[in-house]
A and B are shown apart, each in its own frame.
Chain A
Amino acid sequence: MQAALEAWAADELGDPAARVEGLQRTSAGFSRENWEFDLVRDGSREPLLARRDPVGSVLETDRAVETAVLRALTSTAVPAPRVRWSDPFGDRLGRPTLVMDRAGGDCDWFVLNGTRPLATRLDIAHQLCDRLADIHRVDWRAAGLDDVLDDPGNEASLRAVDHWEAVLRGVQLEPQPELELILAWLRVHAPAAEVTALVHGDFKPGNVLLAGDTVSLVLDWETAHLGDPVEDLGWVSNPLRAREHRIDGVWEPSDLFARWSNRTGLSAPPDAVRWWNVLANLKLCVIVLTGTKAFVEGRFDRVHQPPVTLYRVLLDMVGA
């Protein structure tokens, strides 16, 4: 790994003396291998991060698309990691890999319910909301994102069902009647999108970096796509993940929607949000089942159980 990285760095930089030091795989991230290292050359030291596709994962996504999204975001107000080198075909390290700047800062999945004072936590919640709104306000055509991402138009919800059902069919090891029921419900109740926007797809405190009390960077763009911005609201307001996204009595979904609407000028229809809540949990089920398949096939080091907790939540949501 180290030698391959050094060879890659030498080619990218035209500097055969470039060295890789301190290479270490971190435990962060369920879907990609994260390798931290320092690039040392000409007496300087740069902290970098290589995100390599694993042999098995909870998500199968495309590094070429992620690279294009990240590069397009450099011309926007959204704080995203800077890609240094991209190898979407795995020629360098055996599997597709992005090398990006390793920014300083802390990642805290549960910062909104952590030890900071309430006023600070609420301010961070506001910043998270504003960064999400900034993503949805990206002029994706001007940024060239329609070159790499499909615009589903007002059928974003049905396209999402099609996508996740296709993934499900590819990974499920056994029949899942619960998900058949949920898929049928989603198809009957699918809302029409008001607009097409850039959707992050996995927005959460665990996917941002904090510099002190400031949200400094939005991470993990591998599931970014064009779609209905209400999808991200449905993901963030998923009742199952309230501990990550809410502050009881202070920062509730209604507060999020009001602030987001004010900043974007868009609406968050309650029925559409609820539909995307259900889609969010279907997506989580498929992610778990993807991990299950990879584990059973010996390609993933984390054991996954059937997503029965998610089934319980989903069945309650659709009134079973």
Chain B
Amino acid sequence: MRPTIGEQLAGVSRILAEVVTPALVDPYPADIIGGLIATLDAIAAAWADVPAYLAWDANRTLALLAAAAADLQDAHREALDVLTRDRMVDVPDIRSLEEHHRAARALLADVVAGGIPPAIDAAVRAHLRDRADRYPLVVAQRMPGQR
């Protein structure tokens, strides 16, 4: 499909930067559009990696919790069973993937809030650190006055 999603996002960003931005006089919209362009550039560069990231994060989260299934509260174990049974295999179904990922993260958040089972404590912490490193969307946005 041409233009691809990435090409369209990058093209819109370029037009905003080259055509629209120079015409902006007021400081507020001139400042705001810089953030919009940075966001479009980041999405253009990374959108294709997002589904695989969500699938990896959800699957890794469920695998971690499964390793301590016996130590989980009943409600958490039941939620884990459902999510594992419904594990996403059809990655291109983005809306379902987003919901599945949200549910896996919600279960992990509940488990963490209640106290991480010792058997997976280190692995959960390591995963949270790992997923932060792997997060695909990086926006090069500057703070006011930042050079």
Chain A residues contacting B133 (CB-CB under 8 Å) are 312
Indicate if B5 sits at the interface (CB-CB under 8 A): no
Stretch of B8-16, B22-30, B72-80, B81-89 that contacts chain A: B22-30
Stretch of A58-66, A97-105, A170-178, A212-220 that contacts chain B: A170-178
Provide the main secondary structure of the chain B interface.
helix
Total A-B contacts with CB atoms under 8 angstroms apart? 88
Q: Which chain B residue lies CB-closest to A306?
A: B135
Tell me the residues in window 154-194 of chain A with beta carbons closer than 8 Å to chain B beta carbons: 174-178, 180-181, 183-184
Identify A27's interface contact among B31, B105, B106, CB under 8 A.
Answer: B31
Evaluate contact between A305 and B109: CB separation under 8 angstroms.
Answer: no
Evaluate contact between A320 and B129: CB separation under 8 angstroms.
Answer: yes
Identify B132's interface contact among A107, A301, A303, A308, CB under 8 A.
Answer: A308
By the criterion of a CB under 8 Å from any partner CB, how many residues of chain A are at the interface?
32
Tell me the residues in window 114-147 of chain B with beta carbons closer than 8 Å to chain A beta carbons: 115-116, 124-126, 128-129, 131-133, 135, 137, 139, 143-147
**Max count, chain B CB within 10 A of own CB: residue among A27, A28, A306:** A27
By the criterion of a CB under 8 Å from any partner CB, how many residues of chain B are at the interface?
37
Chain B residues contacting A311 (CB-CB under 8 Å) are 128, 132
Evaluate contact between B109 and A301: CB separation under 8 angstroms.
Answer: no
Q: Output the least CB separation between B73 and chain A (Å).
A: 15
Evaluate contact between B109 and A320: CB separation under 8 angstroms.
Answer: no
Q: Output the least CB separation between B117 and chain A (Å).
A: 13
Known: A175-B105, A176-B109, A303-B39. 8 other contacts (CB 8 A): A27-B30, A108-B145, A177-B109, A177-B111, A180-B112, A302-B35, A305-B39, A312-B132
- Residue contacts A-B, CB under 8 angstroms, 30 given: A25-B28, A26-B28, A27-B27, A27-B28, A27-B144, A108-B145, A109-B143, A109-B144, A109-B146, A174-B102, A174-B105, A175-B105, A175-B109, A176-B105, A177-B109, A177-B124, A178-B128, A178-B132, A180-B112, A181-B128, A184-B113, A206-B143, A301-B32, A303-B39, A305-B42, A305-B137, A306-B135, A309-B132, A311-B132, A312-B132
Q: Which 9 A-B pairs have the closest CB atoms?
A: A27-B31, A320-B125, A175-B109, A109-B145, A175-B106, A180-B112, A308-B135, A177-B109, A180-B113
